[in-house]
A and B are shown apart, each in its own frame.
Chain A
Amino acid sequence: MADKFLSLEKVKEVWHTQVHDEQNWALNKKLLRAFGLFVGSIIVFRNFGDQMARIFHQATMMPMISSRLSPVI
Protein backbone atom coordinates (compact mmCIF):
# COMPACT_ATOMS: atom_id res chain seq x y z
CA MET A 1 0.00 0.00 0.00
CA ALA A 2 1.42 3.41 -0.92
CA ASP A 3 2.31 5.78 1.90
CA LYS A 4 -0.41 8.40 2.40
CA PHE A 5 0.44 12.01 3.16
CA LEU A 6 -1.55 11.85 6.40
CA SER A 7 -1.74 8.38 7.92
CA LEU A 8 -2.99 7.24 11.28
CA GLU A 9 0.55 6.23 12.26
CA LYS A 10 1.86 9.72 11.65
CA VAL A 11 -1.00 11.25 13.65
CA LYS A 12 -0.26 8.88 16.53
CA GLU A 13 3.43 9.74 16.31
CA VAL A 14 2.73 13.50 16.46
CA TRP A 15 0.29 12.99 19.33
CA HIS A 16 2.88 10.93 21.23
CA THR A 17 5.69 13.46 20.77
CA GLN A 18 3.61 16.54 21.50
CA VAL A 19 1.36 15.33 24.32
CA HIS A 20 3.06 12.43 26.04
CA ASP A 21 6.52 14.00 25.99
CA GLU A 22 6.87 16.05 29.18
CA GLN A 23 8.97 18.88 27.82
CA ASN A 24 6.94 19.38 24.66
CA TRP A 25 3.65 19.16 26.55
CA ALA A 26 4.77 21.82 29.05
CA LEU A 27 5.39 24.24 26.18
CA ASN A 28 2.23 23.18 24.31
CA LYS A 29 0.16 23.69 27.45
CA LYS A 30 1.50 27.25 27.82
CA LEU A 31 0.91 27.86 24.11
CA LEU A 32 -2.67 26.61 24.25
CA ARG A 33 -3.43 28.63 27.38
CA ALA A 34 -2.02 31.83 25.89
CA PHE A 35 -3.63 31.37 22.48
CA GLY A 36 -6.94 30.41 24.09
CA LEU A 37 -6.83 33.57 26.23
CA PHE A 38 -6.10 35.64 23.12
CA VAL A 39 -8.88 34.16 20.98
CA GLY A 40 -11.36 34.07 23.87
CA SER A 41 -10.69 37.74 24.60
CA ILE A 42 -11.36 38.68 20.99
CA ILE A 43 -14.68 36.79 21.05
CA VAL A 44 -15.71 38.42 24.35
CA PHE A 45 -14.67 41.90 23.18
CA ARG A 46 -16.58 41.68 19.92
CA ASN A 47 -19.74 40.26 21.47
CA PHE A 48 -19.86 41.89 24.90
CA GLY A 49 -17.51 44.87 24.64
CA ASP A 50 -20.29 47.48 24.79
CA GLN A 51 -21.84 45.87 27.87
CA MET A 52 -18.47 45.65 29.62
CA ALA A 53 -17.84 49.34 29.03
CA ARG A 54 -21.34 50.23 30.27
CA ILE A 55 -20.90 48.19 33.48
CA PHE A 56 -17.48 49.70 34.11
CA HIS A 57 -18.83 53.21 33.53
CA GLN A 58 -21.70 52.63 35.97
CA ALA A 59 -19.33 51.18 38.56
CA THR A 60 -17.10 54.25 38.39
CA MET A 61 -20.04 56.67 38.39
CA MET A 62 -21.75 55.09 41.47
CA PRO A 63 -19.48 56.67 44.17
CA MET A 64 -19.96 60.13 42.60
CA ILE A 65 -23.75 59.77 42.52
CA SER A 66 -24.04 58.40 46.08
CA SER A 67 -21.85 61.18 47.51
CA ARG A 68 -24.09 63.82 45.91
CA LEU A 69 -27.30 62.19 47.12
CA SER A 70 -26.19 62.06 50.78
CA PRO A 71 -24.37 65.31 51.64
CA VAL A 72 -25.23 65.02 55.35
CA ILE A 73 -23.30 61.80 55.87
Chain B
Amino acid sequence: MAAAYGQVPPSTTTQMDANGEEKMKTKVDYFNLPCPIPYEEIQREAFMSLKPELFEGLRFDFTKGLNQKFALSHSVAMGPTELPSQSSETIKIPTAHYEFGANFIDPRLMLVGRVLTDGRLNARLKCDLTDKLTLKGNAQLTSEPDMSHGMATFDYKGSDYRAQFQVGNGALFGASYIQSVTPHLSLGGEVFWTGQHRKSGVGVASRYNTDKMVATAQVASTGIVALSFVQKVSEKVSLATDFIYNYLSKEVTSSVGYDYILRQCRLRGKIDSNGCTSAFLEERLNMGLNFILSAEVDHRKKDYKFGFGLTVGE
Protein backbone atom coordinates (compact mmCIF):
# COMPACT_ATOMS: atom_id res chain seq x y z
CA MET B 1 0.00 0.00 0.00
CA ALA B 2 2.81 2.39 0.88
CA ALA B 3 4.56 1.56 -2.41
CA ALA B 4 1.41 2.59 -4.23
CA TYR B 5 1.94 6.08 -2.86
CA GLY B 6 5.62 6.04 -3.96
CA GLN B 7 7.02 5.41 -0.47
CA VAL B 8 9.74 2.79 0.19
CA PRO B 9 9.40 0.65 3.35
CA PRO B 10 11.98 1.97 5.89
CA SER B 11 13.67 -1.40 6.56
CA THR B 12 14.76 -2.07 2.95
CA THR B 13 16.86 -0.21 0.42
CA THR B 14 17.77 -1.07 -3.15
CA GLN B 15 21.35 -1.16 -4.38
CA MET B 16 22.95 -1.68 -7.77
CA ASP B 17 25.61 -4.41 -7.68
CA ALA B 18 28.55 -5.01 -10.09
CA ASN B 19 26.26 -6.55 -12.71
CA GLY B 20 23.92 -3.61 -12.62
CA GLU B 21 21.16 -5.70 -11.08
CA GLU B 22 19.06 -4.40 -8.31
CA LYS B 23 19.61 -6.08 -4.97
CA MET B 24 17.34 -5.67 -1.98
CA LYS B 25 19.38 -5.04 1.14
CA THR B 26 17.60 -5.67 4.38
CA LYS B 27 18.66 -3.51 7.31
CA VAL B 28 19.93 -5.65 10.20
CA ASP B 29 17.89 -5.54 13.39
CA TYR B 30 20.60 -5.97 16.05
CA PHE B 31 17.98 -6.37 18.77
CA ASN B 32 16.50 -9.40 17.04
CA LEU B 33 19.49 -11.63 16.26
CA PRO B 34 19.17 -15.42 16.04
CA CYS B 35 20.25 -17.64 18.91
CA PRO B 36 23.74 -19.03 18.22
CA ILE B 37 24.96 -22.63 18.20
CA PRO B 38 26.14 -23.97 21.60
CA TYR B 39 29.82 -23.22 22.22
CA GLU B 40 30.90 -26.87 22.28
CA GLU B 41 29.15 -27.51 18.94
CA ILE B 42 30.72 -24.59 17.13
CA GLN B 43 32.52 -26.93 14.71
CA ARG B 44 29.77 -29.54 14.41
CA GLU B 45 29.45 -29.42 10.59
CA ALA B 46 33.18 -30.02 10.15
CA PHE B 47 33.12 -32.63 12.90
CA MET B 48 30.26 -34.56 11.25
CA SER B 49 32.01 -34.60 7.88
CA LEU B 50 35.63 -35.15 8.95
CA LYS B 51 35.35 -37.29 12.07
CA PRO B 52 33.02 -40.25 11.59
CA GLU B 53 33.14 -43.09 14.14
CA LEU B 54 35.89 -45.12 12.52
CA PHE B 55 36.44 -48.53 14.02
CA GLU B 56 38.44 -51.71 13.45
CA GLY B 57 37.05 -55.23 13.49
CA LEU B 58 33.45 -56.31 13.81
CA ARG B 59 30.60 -54.28 15.19
CA PHE B 60 27.01 -55.36 15.66
CA ASP B 61 24.33 -53.14 17.20
CA PHE B 62 20.76 -54.16 17.85
CA THR B 63 18.17 -51.71 19.18
CA LYS B 64 14.69 -52.82 20.13
CA GLY B 65 12.03 -50.27 20.95
CA LEU B 66 9.64 -51.49 23.62
CA ASN B 67 7.39 -48.47 23.29
CA GLN B 68 7.58 -44.97 21.88
CA LYS B 69 9.87 -43.75 24.63
CA PHE B 70 11.83 -46.75 25.88
CA ALA B 71 14.31 -48.93 23.98
CA LEU B 72 16.90 -51.56 24.81
CA SER B 73 20.14 -52.06 22.90
CA HIS B 74 22.70 -54.84 22.55
CA SER B 75 26.12 -54.18 21.06
CA VAL B 76 28.95 -56.56 20.28
CA ALA B 77 32.40 -55.34 19.25
CA MET B 78 35.35 -57.55 18.37
CA GLY B 79 38.65 -56.17 17.27
CA PRO B 80 42.02 -54.83 18.28
CA THR B 81 42.30 -51.98 20.77
CA GLU B 82 45.21 -49.56 20.60
CA LEU B 83 47.36 -49.09 23.68
CA PRO B 84 49.20 -45.83 24.26
CA SER B 85 52.91 -46.26 23.65
CA GLN B 86 55.79 -43.86 23.68
CA SER B 87 57.39 -45.29 20.55
CA SER B 88 56.14 -44.56 17.05
CA GLU B 89 54.85 -48.12 16.60
CA THR B 90 51.25 -48.82 17.56
CA ILE B 91 50.55 -51.63 20.01
CA LYS B 92 47.25 -53.43 19.63
CA ILE B 93 45.55 -55.99 21.84
CA PRO B 94 42.64 -58.07 20.52
CA THR B 95 39.53 -57.49 22.60
CA ALA B 96 35.87 -58.39 22.50
CA HIS B 97 33.10 -56.94 24.57
CA TYR B 98 29.34 -56.88 24.89
CA GLU B 99 27.40 -53.79 25.87
CA PHE B 100 23.84 -53.68 27.16
CA GLY B 101 21.99 -50.38 27.00
CA ALA B 102 18.71 -48.75 27.85
CA ASN B 103 17.35 -45.48 26.42
CA PHE B 104 14.46 -43.40 27.64
CA ILE B 105 13.65 -40.50 25.33
CA ASP B 106 10.95 -37.98 26.15
CA PRO B 107 10.52 -34.48 24.69
CA ARG B 108 11.82 -33.02 27.98
CA LEU B 109 13.89 -35.87 29.41
CA MET B 110 16.49 -38.18 27.95
CA LEU B 111 18.20 -40.98 29.90
CA VAL B 112 20.83 -43.24 28.35
CA GLY B 113 22.67 -46.02 30.17
CA ARG B 114 25.26 -48.54 29.02
CA VAL B 115 26.86 -51.46 30.90
CA LEU B 116 29.92 -53.25 29.54
CA THR B 117 31.25 -56.71 30.28
CA ASP B 118 34.35 -55.25 31.95
CA GLY B 119 32.14 -53.68 34.61
CA ARG B 120 32.05 -50.11 33.30
CA LEU B 121 28.81 -48.15 33.50
CA ASN B 122 28.19 -45.09 31.31
CA ALA B 123 25.19 -42.88 31.97
CA ARG B 124 23.90 -39.70 30.32
CA LEU B 125 21.07 -37.40 31.30
CA LYS B 126 19.46 -34.44 29.55
CA CYS B 127 16.55 -32.64 31.16
CA ASP B 128 14.78 -29.44 30.07
CA LEU B 129 14.10 -27.83 33.44
CA THR B 130 12.40 -24.87 31.77
CA ASP B 131 12.10 -23.66 28.17
CA LYS B 132 15.45 -21.89 28.49
CA LEU B 133 17.34 -23.91 31.12
CA THR B 134 18.66 -27.41 30.44
CA LEU B 135 20.49 -29.75 32.77
CA LYS B 136 22.91 -32.28 31.26
CA GLY B 137 24.88 -34.88 33.12
CA ASN B 138 27.20 -37.71 32.27
CA ALA B 139 29.04 -40.22 34.39
CA GLN B 140 31.35 -43.15 33.94
CA LEU B 141 31.68 -45.56 36.84
CA THR B 142 34.31 -48.29 36.99
CA SER B 143 35.52 -50.77 39.56
CA GLU B 144 39.05 -49.36 39.36
CA PRO B 145 39.83 -46.84 42.12
CA ASP B 146 39.99 -43.14 41.13
CA MET B 147 38.87 -43.89 37.58
CA SER B 148 35.21 -42.96 37.96
CA HIS B 149 34.12 -39.49 36.96
CA GLY B 150 30.99 -37.43 36.47
CA MET B 151 30.02 -34.00 35.21
CA ALA B 152 26.93 -31.80 35.36
CA THR B 153 26.23 -28.96 32.92
CA PHE B 154 23.68 -26.17 33.10
CA ASP B 155 22.81 -24.55 29.75
CA TYR B 156 20.89 -21.30 29.52
CA LYS B 157 19.52 -20.26 26.14
CA GLY B 158 18.88 -16.56 25.73
CA SER B 159 17.35 -14.69 22.80
CA ASP B 160 20.68 -14.11 21.05
CA TYR B 161 23.18 -15.77 23.39
CA ARG B 162 23.91 -18.99 25.23
CA ALA B 163 25.63 -19.47 28.58
CA GLN B 164 26.88 -22.70 30.10
CA PHE B 165 28.26 -23.69 33.49
CA GLN B 166 29.94 -27.03 34.18
CA VAL B 167 30.96 -28.74 37.38
CA GLY B 168 32.66 -32.11 37.63
CA ASN B 169 34.43 -34.32 40.12
CA GLY B 170 38.04 -33.51 40.85
CA ALA B 171 36.97 -29.88 41.42
CA LEU B 172 36.47 -29.26 37.72
CA PHE B 173 34.67 -25.99 36.94
CA GLY B 174 34.00 -24.53 33.52
CA ALA B 175 31.93 -21.79 31.93
CA SER B 176 31.32 -20.67 28.38
CA TYR B 177 29.38 -17.88 26.69
CA ILE B 178 28.55 -17.28 23.04
CA GLN B 179 26.80 -14.23 21.58
CA SER B 180 25.36 -13.48 18.15
CA VAL B 181 27.00 -10.30 16.92
CA THR B 182 25.41 -10.17 13.46
CA PRO B 183 22.88 -12.51 11.80
CA HIS B 184 25.83 -14.54 10.47
CA LEU B 185 28.61 -14.02 13.03
CA SER B 186 28.79 -15.25 16.61
CA LEU B 187 31.64 -14.87 19.08
CA GLY B 188 32.25 -16.76 22.28
CA GLY B 189 34.68 -17.60 25.04
CA GLU B 190 35.26 -20.26 27.66
CA VAL B 191 37.21 -20.69 30.88
CA PHE B 192 37.90 -23.78 32.98
CA TRP B 193 39.71 -24.64 36.18
CA THR B 194 40.68 -28.07 37.53
CA GLY B 195 41.36 -28.08 41.25
CA GLN B 196 42.85 -31.57 41.26
CA HIS B 197 45.57 -30.78 38.73
CA ARG B 198 45.76 -27.07 39.55
CA LYS B 199 45.34 -26.09 35.93
CA SER B 200 43.22 -23.45 34.26
CA GLY B 201 42.62 -22.32 30.73
CA VAL B 202 40.76 -19.83 28.58
CA GLY B 203 39.62 -19.98 25.00
CA VAL B 204 37.87 -17.84 22.40
CA ALA B 205 35.96 -18.90 19.32
CA SER B 206 34.16 -17.37 16.40
CA ARG B 207 31.73 -18.76 13.85
CA TYR B 208 30.57 -17.25 10.58
CA ASN B 209 27.84 -19.10 8.73
CA THR B 210 25.65 -18.50 5.73
CA ASP B 211 23.34 -20.82 3.79
CA LYS B 212 26.29 -22.02 1.73
CA MET B 213 29.24 -22.14 4.11
CA VAL B 214 30.39 -22.30 7.71
CA ALA B 215 33.77 -20.98 8.88
CA THR B 216 35.01 -21.29 12.46
CA ALA B 217 38.12 -20.38 14.39
CA GLN B 218 39.06 -21.38 17.91
CA VAL B 219 42.09 -20.55 20.06
CA ALA B 220 42.72 -21.87 23.57
CA SER B 221 45.45 -21.36 26.14
CA THR B 222 45.94 -25.14 26.19
CA GLY B 223 47.86 -24.52 22.96
CA ILE B 224 45.21 -25.38 20.41
CA VAL B 225 44.50 -23.30 17.32
CA ALA B 226 41.64 -24.84 15.30
CA LEU B 227 40.24 -23.52 12.04
CA SER B 228 37.54 -25.16 9.95
CA PHE B 229 35.61 -24.47 6.77
CA VAL B 230 32.60 -26.32 5.38
CA GLN B 231 31.11 -25.64 1.96
CA LYS B 232 27.51 -26.84 1.67
CA VAL B 233 27.40 -27.54 -2.05
CA SER B 234 23.86 -28.90 -1.79
CA GLU B 235 21.58 -30.56 0.78
CA LYS B 236 23.32 -33.86 0.06
CA VAL B 237 26.93 -32.83 -0.48
CA SER B 238 29.29 -31.08 1.90
CA LEU B 239 33.00 -30.43 1.47
CA ALA B 240 34.99 -29.75 4.61
CA THR B 241 38.52 -28.86 5.65
CA ASP B 242 40.13 -28.19 9.01
CA PHE B 243 43.47 -27.09 10.43
CA ILE B 244 44.57 -27.95 13.96
CA TYR B 245 47.84 -26.69 15.44
CA ASN B 246 49.09 -27.27 18.97
CA TYR B 247 51.82 -24.72 19.58
CA LEU B 248 52.83 -26.32 22.88
CA SER B 249 53.37 -29.86 21.60
CA LYS B 250 54.34 -28.64 18.08
CA GLU B 251 51.85 -30.87 16.29
CA VAL B 252 49.93 -29.76 13.24
CA THR B 253 47.32 -31.55 11.12
CA SER B 254 45.12 -30.46 8.27
CA SER B 255 42.30 -32.57 6.80
CA VAL B 256 40.19 -32.36 3.66
CA GLY B 257 37.05 -34.40 3.38
CA TYR B 258 33.60 -34.85 1.91
CA ASP B 259 30.20 -35.96 3.11
CA TYR B 260 27.93 -37.34 0.41
CA ILE B 261 24.38 -38.47 1.17
CA LEU B 262 22.85 -40.72 -1.48
CA ARG B 263 19.38 -42.25 -1.45
CA GLN B 264 20.46 -45.50 0.17
CA CYS B 265 23.77 -44.64 1.76
CA ARG B 266 25.99 -42.02 3.30
CA LEU B 267 29.66 -41.86 2.33
CA ARG B 268 32.31 -39.84 4.14
CA GLY B 269 35.98 -39.72 3.31
CA LYS B 270 39.00 -37.63 4.14
CA ILE B 271 42.73 -37.29 3.70
CA ASP B 272 45.04 -35.39 6.00
CA SER B 273 48.44 -33.74 5.80
CA ASN B 274 50.12 -36.68 7.57
CA GLY B 275 49.19 -38.96 4.68
CA CYS B 276 46.38 -40.77 6.48
CA THR B 277 43.24 -41.52 4.45
CA SER B 278 39.96 -42.79 5.78
CA ALA B 279 36.45 -43.58 4.61
CA PHE B 280 33.19 -44.50 6.29
CA LEU B 281 30.16 -45.96 4.52
CA GLU B 282 26.68 -46.49 5.97
CA GLU B 283 24.32 -48.29 3.60
CA ARG B 284 20.66 -48.89 4.28
CA LEU B 285 19.94 -52.44 3.15
CA ASN B 286 16.37 -52.40 4.36
CA MET B 287 14.17 -50.50 6.79
CA GLY B 288 16.02 -50.58 10.09
CA LEU B 289 18.98 -52.57 8.72
CA ASN B 290 22.22 -50.73 8.01
CA PHE B 291 25.53 -52.07 6.82
CA ILE B 292 28.63 -50.12 7.83
CA LEU B 293 32.17 -50.19 6.46
CA SER B 294 35.13 -48.36 7.93
CA ALA B 295 38.68 -48.00 6.62
CA GLU B 296 41.69 -46.02 7.78
CA VAL B 297 45.06 -46.31 6.10
CA ASP B 298 48.23 -44.64 7.40
CA HIS B 299 51.11 -45.51 5.12
CA ARG B 300 53.61 -43.54 7.18
CA LYS B 301 52.99 -45.46 10.40
CA LYS B 302 52.12 -48.65 8.49
CA ASP B 303 48.84 -48.82 10.40
CA TYR B 304 45.88 -50.26 8.49
CA LYS B 305 42.43 -50.50 10.03
CA PHE B 306 39.40 -52.06 8.41
CA GLY B 307 36.06 -52.67 10.02
CA PHE B 308 32.62 -53.86 9.09
CA GLY B 309 29.35 -54.14 10.95
CA LEU B 310 25.59 -54.19 11.01
CA THR B 311 23.13 -52.03 12.89
CA VAL B 312 19.61 -53.32 13.36
CA GLY B 313 16.81 -51.12 14.62
CA GLU B 314 16.70 -47.34 14.97
Contact = CB atoms under 8 A, between A and B. Distances in A.
A17 to B, nearest CB: 15
A35 B255 CA distance: 10
Interface residues of A, number: 19
Contact of B233 (A41, A42, A53): A53
Interface in A6-43: 27, 30-31, 33-35, 37-38, 41-42
Interface string A39-63: 0011001100110110011001000
Contacts, number: 57
Nearest to B234: A53
A45 B241 contact: yes
A33 B213 CA distance: 24
Contact of B239 (A31, A37, A52, A57): A52
Nearest to A34: B254
Q: How big is chain B's contact interface, by range?
A: 20 to 34
9 contacts: A27-B250, A27-B252, A34-B245, A35-B243, A37-B241, A37-B254, A41-B239, A52-B239, A56-B260
Contacts of A42: 229, 231, 241
A52 B233 contact: yes
Contact of A49 (B227, B233, B245): B233
Nearest to B265: A60
B4 interface: no
A50 B258 CA distance: 13
A53 B237 contact: yes
A60 B262 contact: yes
Given A34-B252, A37-B254, A56-B260, A50 B233 contact: yes
Interface in B122-164: none
Contacts of B250: 27
A53 to B, nearest CB: 4
Contacts of A31: 245, 252
B256 interface: yes
Contacts of A50: 233
Nearest to A38: B243
B273 interface: yes
